[in-house]
Amino acid sequence: MEILTMGTNLLYLACAGILADAGIIAYKSFTKVSKTGSAYKGKPKEIENYLGTTGARLSMNVQLSENAMYEHVIVFGKTGSKKTTTQYLPNLLSNDFPKSSLIIFDMKGEIFEATSNYQQNTCGRKVVVYSPLRPEISIGINPLAICEDITQIRKLAMVLIANADKSFSESSSGGAEWKNMTMSLMCAALAYCKHKGGEQCNITSALDLVVNHTNNELEMLFRNSTTEVMDQWNIFKTCLNATGGISSSIKITLASALQIFLDYKIAATSSKDEFRPEMLRKTPIALYVIYPETSSDYIAPLMATIFSQLIDYNLEYFDKNPKSLPIFNFLDEYCNAGYLPAFNHTITAARSRKFSFNICIHDVRQLFRLYGQDLTYTILNNASCKVVLPGISEPTTLDFISTIAGESEISIQNESTTGEKTTVNTSKQKKRLYTSNEVRCLDDDTCLIIINNKQAVPDKLNIYHKHKIYNDRVVKQYL
């Protein structure tokens, strides 16, 4: 009996202990005050997993590793925000990157002048200039000669048409019909000129073929060519009959939209087959792409075509040759390159193929105009690193940066007086770590770096002319 009583008492004590623990846990849960915001201004050491000595230097204390570069960088910086002097010149006057090739967008030619000598004589890269409006200094790149089959020719035609005339709305029926018909017509002409080879194997010859021949003449020419050419021509005729379209008006519109290929300078640089995309994977090259910013709309069909091929062919080449050289892109004024179809997928695929994008844009709305809102946010999300330079004033961009920087917690004190008694109550509230106005008012020598899921890190700009090490490396080389 005593043993039974003792066991019962122990059971009661155990139950009481369990209930007491439960009560304490419930009390702690009930009384715990969770943080309303967790963002704070980070330090470079907090992003150390992304830092190294073989990638781009973004600021005084932040230099990325090679692997972090393959996750891509987007720099937000308007004209005059020091993007050239802080993002491009310091990196191109350093020999930090592994053995690799570089693609450098250089609107004014000033990056070439300051860095080409160093790239050639210290970094060991062959310096190549592509300047389509200056054939006397430019290598020739022939987009049609690069194409190997009808699939690649169709993609060439697609990029040309997509950038030919922004006045044709993607959503309007007129614009869609025009694109469908011109796509097959241009593809047939390109495939025919590719088949003929020699001096006819270029975009200018294909456009000339379409503009200066009647449909009957084209029928005879294409009939004596390849099956692929006739297939595209038959698609054009079917679309023409289905829509009741007028062939002459389609040709006139196509000639007007792609008239840059009748420009003797463009014809000269796009007809010579002197450079192939895969060269960048085989030997270290610094490819400087130089053309005036004021001509970007004019040559958008060509630039989008060239850059699309530089990307696509090198991604495919790496799949077959995984030990080939990495490629790092420094793309100042990226949006001037025109519309690249499926770029939201390309930027993702490039990660595993050692093809790094360092893209500079003025603001988010620049990408909106090219890709629309949804695809723009997909592109931004697939660039793990964002660098914000001072002076941005575009509202959508300010709000985007403010939002992804997160919200912090602040304490708010409220005083209330009743008679002679004053009561102070403190409450926790959340506030954006950087409001839109605080982003707009970043100090002139400060940038904001946001990497992946880490806290936003403010840091001093790395301005090249303030450092003797960079100045000593500049040997001016003029075009």
DSSP calls for 170-202: SSSHHHHHHHHHHHHHHHHHHHHHHHH-GGG-S
pLDDT at 290: 96
CA–CA distance, 142 with 338 (Å, rounded to integer): 18
Q: Is 102 exposed, middle or buried (0-12, 13-18, 19+ CB in 10 A)?
A: buried
**Average of per-residue pLDDT across 81-85:** 92
* Listed ranges 247-261, 290-304, 373-387, 399-413; the one with the highest mean pLDDT: 373-387
Three-state SS letters, 142-177: CHHHHCCCHHHHHHHHHHHHHHHCCCCCCCCHHHHH
Q: What is the pLDDT of residue 25?
A: 46
Residue 308, helix vs strand vs coil: helix
Q: CB count, 10 Å around CB of 43?
A: 13
Residue-level pLDDT at 32 = 44
Q: How many residues does the chain have?
A: 479
Task: Give pLDDT, residue 272.
Answer: 95
pLDDT above 90 (res 359)? yes
**What mean pLDDT, rounded, does the chain reach?**
88
pLDDT for res 420: 73
| pTM for the full predicted model | 0.87
Tell me how many degrees the CA angle 347-99-64 measures, rounded to the nearest 5. 55
pLDDT > 70 in the chain, percent: 87
Each residue's pLDDT tens digit, 312-356: 999 999 999 999 999 999 999 999 889 998 899 999 999 999 999
Q: Are strands 385-388 and 446-451 parallel, antiparallel or unpaired?
A: antiparallel
Element (H, E) at 415: strand 407-418
Q: What's the order of all strands across the beta sheet hosting 446-451?
A: 126-130, 285-289, 101-105, 327-331, 355-361, 73-76, 385-388, 446-451, 457-460
Q: How confident is the model at residue 31 (pLDDT cuts 50, 70, 90)?
A: very low
Q: How would residue 128 be classed by pLDDT, with cut points 50, 70 and 90?
A: very high
